[in-house]
Every structure is written in structure tokens, then in C-alpha cells.
Amino acid sequence: MDLRLTAKAAATDAERAAVDEVLGPPPSQWEGGARRAQDAHQAFGGHAARGRRHQLITVLHAIQDKAGWISPGALDYVAERLTVPPAEAFGVASFYAMFRTVPPATGLSPGTVVHVCDDVACQVAGAEALCAEMTRRFGPEGADRVPTGNGFHGAGVTWQRSPCLGKCDLGSAALIQRAGTAAPRRDLAPVTPDAVRDALAGSGPAAGVPLGVLVPQLSSRTGPGFASPDIAASPGSGPVSLLRRVGRVDPASLGSYRAAGGYEMLRRALRLGPQGVIREVRDAKLAGRGGAAFPTHIKWDAVAANPVRPKYVVCNADESEPGTFKDRVLMEADPYALVEALTVMGYACGAEQGYLYIRGEYPTAEGRLAHAVAMAREHGFLGPRVMGESFAFDIEIRRGAGAYIAGEETALINSLEGKRAEPRNKPPFPAQSGLFGQPTAVNNVETLLSVLEILRVGGPAYAAVGTPGSTGTRLFCLSGCVPAPGLYEYDFGVTLRTVIDGAGGVAGGRPLQAVLLGGAAGVFVGPQALDMPLTYEGTRAAGATLGSGVVLVLDDTVSVPALLRRITRFFRDESCGQCVPCRVGTVRQEELVARLAGPVSGEPGSGKPAPLGSVAAELALLKDIGYVTRDASICGLGQTALSAVESAVKLGLIGTDFTGTDFPGTDSQGV
């Protein structure tokens, strides 16, 4: 490929060093190195050169972490190193929210960006007050500035609102991107402006990756029945428990994991053989926990049976569904278990390479997993002969860069290939043509940990837990108006009431207004749904969904219209923009909900609603928008983008105030 590089300024030494740290020094002038005599006589390009494209996002991360933005010069250097046209590389860089393609304010480079969560759970916990305080202390959202006062001094800081950061049980959360430092990404929760100031001044607790520390460092809170005061997780009480080790093993220590029974399940899997493992998973009737509830054994069987080689297995740890934090707790508390489970998956599917795609907003979990992978490799649990057997397997961790859509499995595969996270049309399914066009299986973190439990108790015993249609246990992410938000594990079959009561019931004994089940892509249910069993079949019968296990409890003081505005903003922001129904439908939905909900205090850009026609006309329009997004969108994002709003309308939580009457001002605005 003949690249035309157009940047006016070449990459700085620091930018080149950041790239070379990932890719090694450039071997020839063709790849951006110094000119050597033989370069004039040697052709360079072809598959080998283009075959490195998949490292694009890794390299962009390296530049962002070092320089605070992706400069044109740095992008050109990357283009040369990976044989990617600059326009295409820019298309990728400008897709992900954690990459910046404009420089930090003059003279303040490298920049610092503080992402403050204002998503659904944090909204309920008071995110607007926090954002107001951030504005007071750090200036308006999005503005590059040097903060003064409060003793803070430092280079340019920008703060901005962020979608859910997966700390919903902690009440508030922030991610700090701080280029050029030893901890370029750092998660903080709960967060206050003072905590941000201290973190930026370097006086906060050690950044990023607290390794070698024992369990109570976990960034979560206690649920009932747990000894340590810092752990949110309450494990299931029956024979199956995904959270059994959480709070009991040291996430930094392979020895501690092994002492708790770690790697016995991989040993068992190696004895059962790949088909034996798949049989157990089938007998267990395991359904995927990432949201779609697809039977896991079908995927694994399709990949295992596919004669094409090589094959890949991928763990989807992109957890970005607003309100969801289960995978983070599992990865922070029990990282070796995920490494072991992914190894089992690789063995069952006949793959030699696994990828673990973790969202970029989880530096703590990523650090612990990276450590776990390295230790596993060092001790022969990964590598050419796993546990001394003739089974070769290794794991590479890949970091997302701020895109909810990258959690959709085919978008995730594109992201792994170094592309924009645009979902693919299915068929073909990943089991036929996935990563690099090869057979690929993708599973959620919770699904994989469930496989370890299946191997521990046996498929039939696992299937005996729960209900016939929903086997095993399920993790629920409790947040909102409950006294003890956190991660709870229950055998399938419990009712919504039990789960809410388990977290202490509605805080302060207030009346329950509604529950958001399954996250932003889920639905609102009212108090009349309290006795609904939280099973696949139970929620389906009620027109609800379990989704990723979100249970966001809302008392009578919460403004549902304000939450709907946040949700519709989320979908518009996170749509990949590829297909028309979702790209425009999410915009039209947001506009419509803005008209129905009216202004929301503190929300950026909220003004007076300017209704179109009657509420009836608005609801008819909503129905049409819902129709096309659900029926004609490429992927699940568009297909579920209206479910929360539609369910809220059904419950009368929005769109009722004026029913039957015209909005004021209809005539001047009318259709």
C-alpha cells in the first residue's frame, strides 16, 4: 500500500518511543525508521505488513497515555509502522472516547481528563450535585484550564461527564486520564472534588494497580454475611457460588488462589477432554450472562467442530451496560479464576490463543489480570504445555478505549482487529467467521466463571440449581435507593422482592416507584412486578429482561424523566452510527423524550420543551421510532435503544401529564 503521509510536523521523540515500546524499533525506512542502504532495493508491504493492523488500538493507547492526544505526526508514524492509511487510522482514533484527536490547551500538554460518571445509578445517588461542585471547583465541563484555589496547582485539567464507570454501588465514580505519568489511567470511587484534587496532586492512595495488597483493598462495599468490611459481594448460599473466593483469596497471589482450589477445574477439564467439557456445559444448560442468554455449549460446539484453524476464544470484559459492575468485582477480586476459565474455554473450543478484551475504564482490574496472566505463564498454566499437558494456550489482554458498543461481540472482534467498533451483520456468526475471519467464541466474564462452577459440581448438579429454564446462580448488581448496594448472588428463581430486600429494601422505608432491570438497554418495572421471579422465563413472561443483572431501585423521590433523558443521551452517544435506524433513531428518541420530560435541572443544554402536536402524536411517533430501531437495526444496541423509554411510557412514568390534551403552543410548532 502506498501511503501518503500528510502531517506538517513529524512525531516527537516521545511519541515515537511510545509506539516503539509496543512494536519494537522500526526495522526499515519503509516502516518509519532511518534510511538504510538496502531500503532502496527492498520491497516492503503485503500481508506481513498489513497483518500488524490489529495492534492499532494498543498503539494509540500508548500514544494517548504518553502525550495526552494523538497528534497528526504520531498518527503518521503509526500509519507507517502498521501500513494503515492515515484517514483510516484517524477514523479509528476518532471513534473511541478515550482518545483525543485535538491537543490539550496550548502549553498545558500533556493533558489530564477527569471523567465523572453521571449515568443512571450515580444520577440517583446525586451526580448532578457532584457535577455542579466540579464546575465550581474546576470550571465548566469540557474546558481546558489550570484550576486555581483549593490549593490545587498543576497542568491543564479538563473534567467531563462520563457514562457508567462500573462503580454503581459506590455512589459516585471517576476515571482520571493523566498522560505522561506512571498511572495514565486511574479509577476513583466514590469520588469528591477533593479526592480528585488529591489524586492529581499525587497525595491520594497509590495509583492504578494496587498489587500485592490483600483483599480489603477491593473497591467495593460489604453486603450481608461477609466478614471483610470492604467487599460488596455476597455469594450464593447453595452448592454453586461464583463469588466463593471473593474476599477470601489474595488477587495478587497465585498461591492463595491455588490454596483455595484454583486450577483444579482446569486439571479436571484436561481429564474430561474437550468434548467432555462441552458435555458438562450442555448438561448444565448454561446460558450466556452477557445479556443475550444464548446457550454456551452451542457456541463452543460450533467452534470446536469447525475444521478451520486457528480458532480463537475471547472473553468479553467490556462491561459497559449502565448499572453493571459484576464483572469488575469478579476481575478485581478473583482474577486468576478468569484466567483459568478462559483457558478451559480455549481447551474446549480447540483454540491456542485467547483474548481478554477489558474496557479501558477498569485500570485496577486490568492490572490485576495482567499480573495474573504473567504469573500463570510463569508457572506453566499458560504457554506451550499448559499444566504439563500437550495443550498450548496463551492469553493476550486488550484494552478498550471508551465505547459501549465494543461490548457487542462482533464489534468487539472488529476492535480486536484494530478497527472501529462497528458491529458486523450476522450471519455469518463468529463461530463461522470471527476474529481475523477464523472460528471464534466470545463469552462474558460471569459466563466463564460459571463454567468453573459447572466443572466443580458437574453439569447435572449445576442444572439442578435454579429453575428448569434458568439454571445455576445469577449475579445481581444492586444500586440506587437501597441501604446496601452491591453485588449479590442468588440461585435462579428468587423474586425481585427478595433481591431488593436482600439489599435492605427501599432505603428509609420509602415507597418503591420503579426498578430499572437490565440496565439502559433494559426496562422499568413497577411495584406490581415485585413478585416476578428473576429468571429468563419469568422476566420474559412479564415483558422484562434480566440483561446484565442490573437492579436499580428507585424510590418515589427519583425523577424518572430525568433518568430517561440520561438514558436517551447515552444511546445517542454510544450508537456506532453505522446503520440509519439507530444513528438517527437514537437522536429522534432523545429529542422526543426531551419534549416529553421537559427541562431537567443541571442537564447540559436542557431548555424549554417545544412539543410537537399532542402527546398522542408524540407517542405515535415514539412507536414508529421504536418499530424501525427494533426491527431493522444491525445490532442489539439499536434493537434495545427504546425499550427503557417504551416501558416507562407503559408504566405511566412519562408521557401521561398531558394525555388527551394538546401541548401548549401546538399551533406555532405544529406538524
Partner 1 sequence: MTSVFLETPRRLVDVEIDGQAVRVPEGATLLDACRARGIDTPTLCYLENLTPVNVCRVCVVEVEGSRTLVPSCSRTAEAGMNVHTDSERVRTSRKMVLEFLASSADVSLASADVRRWIASYGVDPSRYGSPAPDAGAGERDAARPGEHHAPAGDAAATVGQPVKVDNEAYVRDYSRCILCYKCVEACGEDAQHTFAIAVAGRGFEARISTEYDVTLPDSACVYCGNCIGVCPTGALMPLSEYAMRQAGTWDESRQTVTSTICPYCGVGCNVDLHVQDNTIVKVTSPLDSEVTHGHLCVKGRFGFEFVQRRRREE
Ligand X SMILES: Cc1cc2nc3c(=O)[nH]c(=O)nc-3n(C[C@H](O)[C@H](O)[C@H](O)COP(=O)(O)O)c2cc1C
Nearest CB to ligand FES, comparing residues 117 and 333: 117
Only segment of 474-482, 502-510, 526-534, 631-639 that touches ligand SF4 (CB under 6 A): 631-639
Is 633 a binding residue for partner 1 by CB under 8 A? The answer is yes
**Nearest CA among 510, 592, 600 for reference residue 123:** 600
Tell how strand 312-317 and strand 353-358 pair up: parallel
Q: How far apart, in whole angstroms, are the C-alpha atoms of residue 525 and residue 648?
A: 8
Is 637 a binding residue for ligand X by CB under 6 A? The answer is yes
Interface residue with ligand SF4, options 306, 410, 548, 575 (CB under 6 A): 575
CA diameter of the chain: 81
Beta strand extents in 427-560 (DSSP E only): 440-444, 473-480, 486-491, 512-517, 523-525, 550-555
First to last CA, the chain: 52
Is 576 a binding residue for ligand SF4 by CB under 6 A? The answer is yes
Is 453 a binding residue for ligand X by CB under 6 A? The answer is no
Query: Per-residue DSSP letters for 265-293?
Result: HHHHHHHHHHHHHHHHHHHTT-B-TTTT-
Q: How far apart, in whole angstroms, are the C-alpha atoms of residue 406 and residue 138?
A: 31
Q: How far is the CB of 316 from ligand SF4 (least distance, A)?
A: 16
Q: How far apart, in whole angstroms, are the C-alpha atoms of residue 334 and residue 327?
A: 10
Is 168 a binding residue for ligand FES by CB under 6 A? The answer is yes
Q: How far is the CB of 401 from ligand X (least distance, A)?
A: 14
Interface residue with partner 1, options 215, 499, 634, 645 (CB under 8 A): 634
Q: How far apart, in whole angstroms, are the C-alpha atoms of residue 575 and residue 638?
A: 7
Q: At what angle do helices 13-23 and 56-67 cross, to 10 degrees?
A: 140
Interface residue with partner 1, options 43, 48, 227, 671 (CB under 8 A): 671
Only segment of 251-259, 275-283, 407-415, 648-656 that touches ligand X (CB under 6 A): 407-415
Q: How far is the CB of 578 from ligand SF4 (least distance, A)?
A: 4
Is 520 a binding residue for partner 1 by CB under 8 A? The answer is no
Q: Give the three cell numbers for residue 415.
A: 476492535
Binding track over 254-293 against ligand X, x by CB under 6 A = ----------------------------------xxxxx-
Only segment of 286-294, 316-324, 476-484, 576-584 that touches ligand SF4 (CB under 6 A): 576-584
User: ∠483-445-266 over CA atoms, to 5°?
Assistant: 125
Q: How far apart, in whole angstroms, are the C-alpha atoms of residue 79 and residue 609?
A: 46
Residue 318 binding result from partner 1, ligand X, ligand SF4, none, given CB thresholds of 5 to 8 Å by partner type: ligand X
Coil, strand or helix at 408: coil
Tell how strand 312-317 and strand 440-444 pair up: parallel
Only segment of 12-20, 38-46, 161-169, 335-343 that touches ligand FES (CB under 6 A): 161-169
Is 294 a binding residue for ligand X by CB under 6 A? The answer is yes
Interface residue with ligand SF4, options 288, 323, 418, 423 (CB under 6 A): 423
Q: How far is the CB of 267 from ligand FES (least distance, A)?
A: 37
Q: How much is the CA Rg of the chain, to the nearest whole Å?
A: 25
Residue 436, amino acid: F
Q: How far is the CB of 633 from ligand SF4 (least distance, A)?
A: 4
Residues forming a β-bridge with 552: 479, 516
Binding track over 396-415 against ligand SF4, x by CB under 6 A = ---------x----------
Q: Give the three cell numbers for residue 562.
A: 430525568
Q: How far apart, in whole angstroms, are the C-alpha atoms of residue 108 and residue 174?
A: 21
What is the number of residues in the chain?
671
Q: How far is the CB of 90 from partner 1 (least distance, A)?
A: 4
Is 188 a binding residue for ligand SF4 by CB under 6 A? The answer is no
Yes or no: say if 347 and 405 are a contact pair by the CB < 8 Å rule: no
Residue 638 binding result from ligand FES, ligand X, ligand SF4, none, given CB thresholds of 5 to 8 Å by partner type: ligand SF4
Is 583 a binding residue for ligand SF4 by CB under 6 A? The answer is yes
- Phi first, then psi, for residue 115 (nearest 5°) are -95, 120
Interface residue with ligand X, options 68, 104, 208, 407 (CB under 6 A): 407
* Residues in 429-468 that interact with ligand SF4 by CB under 6 A: none
Interface residue with ligand X, options 71, 444, 471, 647 (CB under 6 A): 444
Coil, strand or helix at 577: coil
Which uninterrupted H or E stretch holds 444? strand 440-444
Q: Which residues bind ligand FES (CB under 6 A)?
A: 117, 119-122, 164-168, 173, 322-323
Residues engaged in binding ligand X (CB under 6 A): 288-292, 294, 296, 316, 318-321, 404-405, 407-409, 442-444, 447, 635-637
> By the criterion CB under 6 A, which residues form the site for ligand SF4?
405, 423, 575-579, 582-583, 633-635, 637-638
